[in-house]
Structure 1
């Protein structure tokens, strides 16, 4: 569940940024926002079920050479659980607000579609946080 929280905004960003021509402009916006709301829902579950102990959740091995082994992992403690709900909840609400905000924004050039790109950047920014 923690890896879904981490990677859902990245997947939404990739789908909205690169796949919007296949699925359509509106669908790309909904997918990016929907994946962020899924991450928000799971982060609330993690926050409410967290018992206060430190958890180490491995994501993938990074380098392994002899006795050196480094991995990319998630350290889940109280502060992480709080920051997960703050970042995902605020970002999900910003995504939802952006639907109405971007609907009234005229396109810059005739025929240019920039709304999926905006949602891709917004989702990638959330992933980076």
Structure 2
């Protein structure tokens, strides 16, 4: 399938990493829901809050052009630790199932990876059929 025909709409499991800085945070998993329409991206991300046992939600807004993906992440109801907008710039794999790249907030930088999660229909079609025997 051509990358031009791919659509990022769906759910994605991701993780972002900090560069090797002593004051940096931990590797952080996240879950994204993305909607793409004519190359424009909107969606949400949920991830663990770095300083509490809660999760924090963010909205994303961006673009995809071919294999280039870029979006900004703004946290909803941010506390003082989550006020800054995070910029993401990455590359979509040729099969459309992985995005890898770099994130940045001012002088902070790191890398990220997102993997498309299959839909329920895709999961079911990939599973082997189960045979049940009945005693009768």
TM-score by length of 2: 0.26
Greater percentage in strand: 2
More helix by share: 1
Which protein has greater RCO, CA pairs closer than 8 Å, 6+ apart?
Answer: 1
* TM-score normalised by L of structure 1: 0.27
